[in-house]
Structure 1
């Protein structure tokens, strides 16, 4: 992490967050980058200098459960009200009324929900990989179990608590080495739970997304923290479905959706119905978009930011 900013520990919303900053001299133009699972603030290493050079105050937290941020013991301490509340409290800490929020994977889920629960604190959304998730009539976990089975990792995390945590904790280096790969040729699905299989597999498939030195940052973080805090985000899926019941389901903020053409996550067919101000960009990559194609990701984000009215940045 030689070229990555030094972190600060900030106490907000009853927890401490490890926060990395750049471009402090640009106070008044905040942009908050929210990582996914199983990631780290370091996953934004390619975006931080580009955004700071473009005149933004870049704020990159390790969210609760990750890195040196707090890891509360209660599962419900990781529901969407707590995760969104951490980001609101972070804005309060810096004295900002609102900010642009960028999220990848689970970070995108949190940012979409933040725009519903606290719309006045969000002046723009950039989502990578995970589009807005329609709430629907059936709780999300129930729908996943019915359609994808009990071995689907979302379902497994919930219905067999502690099982995957123990396997991933025992093999963090192998798991992350095998997970952070560029898409390889499609293979027939195998039985079992994919995340456990990745943690146990001797040989990785596909080209690595990052160097050994970069991967070592992620491995060291999870060797220290373990995986349970981050997996607890998944264990609030149906709780989040209930917590979002009273929110206006339409995201009113301007938004940019960046898809990876080879990402297994399904695109949202009705995205514009729920996010009427959305622009969509597709890149020729897999799930780890900002790490697989960093320059193209930076260009897409900066072009979108440049097109927005100055008073909304």
Structure 2
């Protein structure tokens, strides 16, 4: 499947964008998370393009060839949404589907809130929609993790996690991405531990990520981890800036997929259970024997569910 690449000037940054499929096909945006890249969607690109969709996969702000401003505040949620909104504008798109995984999921959910006319359907993997909390989630995390390590709290102080992860980028990425089903982030250890302490050293490459695939991920992080880590440093800003969205529901047909071995499912069990109250047109599936890297660990099953969902709510041919 031929894949095109372009650099778009949007929202005061350069956004690197990969695309495939018929130029006049209905747009499907695929938004990656951490520590991933556009190539995380490699097993969905062909399936969607062959079904007649125009597939658009950005390298999100801070990743790969996209701009990576050093300031944490440059990565607050509505700014990340605006990157995609302006890219849609630049491409003349007035009807789209948006699908996000991990950090890409909150961007997808909020694009659905911000753009109810343009975003006709949306999908999210791993991270559910819980609405705006009564106070910033980072405050709740600090209270719940006073005496134990929490990777999100560890990421808060600029420079701390960068020093650890940038010291050996290939090893850091191997441990984070290939060391399990995403559960390596949640190991029990003392509050003063570092992120990589105690993580098992992976041997070889798993079936879902070859050496060639991993090389693409690695190129994404050649500049280091600062940009991607800055996404985690805006919980308070995100909470403050989304006050106007607090009471809104996501009315579009929405697909949520979760692996049964994804640690996010345990952390967000309550949110997953009550999500249908906030997303009334929701379709949910739990994929068996699947971890956090759902697009690749369970690609065939995911593609089948996604194409079926799109055929019913966002057919390729109008």
Q: Does 1:299 align with 2:298?
A: no
For normalisation by structure 1, the TM-score amounts to 0.90
For normalisation by structure 2, the TM-score amounts to 0.89
Question: CA offsets, 1:17-53, max 9 Å, x none?
Answer: 110000133x150000000011110100110110000
Do the aligned partners of 1:125 and 1:255 also contact (CA within 8 Å) in 2? yes
Question: CA offsets, 1:114-173, max 9 Å, x none?
Answer: 112232221111100111133221211001111134731112211x32110111111221
Q: Does 1:125 align with 2:130?
A: no
| Equivalent residue, structure 1, for 2:10 | 12
Aligned-residue offset at 1:195: 6.9
Q: Name segments (4+ residues, structure 1) moved above 4 Å.
A: 184-188, 192-195, 309-313
Distance 2:61 2:106 in 1: 15
| Equivalent residue, structure 2, for 1:283 | 287
Count of residues paired in the alignment: 307
Distance of aligned partners of 1:44 and 1:194 in 2 relative to their CA distance in 1, 3 Å threshold:
farther
The alignment partner of 2:3 has SS state of coil
| 1:13-28 equivalences in 2 (<5 Å) | 13-25=11-23, 27-28=24-25
1:99 to 96, 99, 102: 96
Question: CA offsets, 1:226-267, max 9 Å, x none?
Answer: 111111111011211111111143111110000010000023
Do the aligned partners of 2:149 and 2:189 also contact (CA within 8 Å) in 1? no
CA RMSD between the two structures: 2.5
Structure 1 unaligned residues grouped into runs of 5+: none
Structure 2 unaligned residues grouped into runs of 5+: none
| 1:1-313 equivalences in 2 (<5 Å) | 5-25=3-23, 27-149=24-146, 151-158=149-156, 160-181=157-178, 182-183=180-181, 189-192=188-191, 196-197=195-196, 201=199, 203-204=201-202, 208=206, 209-223=208-222, 225-247=223-245, 248-265=247-264, 266-267=268-269, 268-284=272-288, 285-308=290-313, 310=315
Distance 2:111 2:255 in 1: 15
Do the aligned partners of 2:52 and 2:316 also contact (CA within 8 Å) in 1? no
The alignment partner of 1:96 has SS state of coil
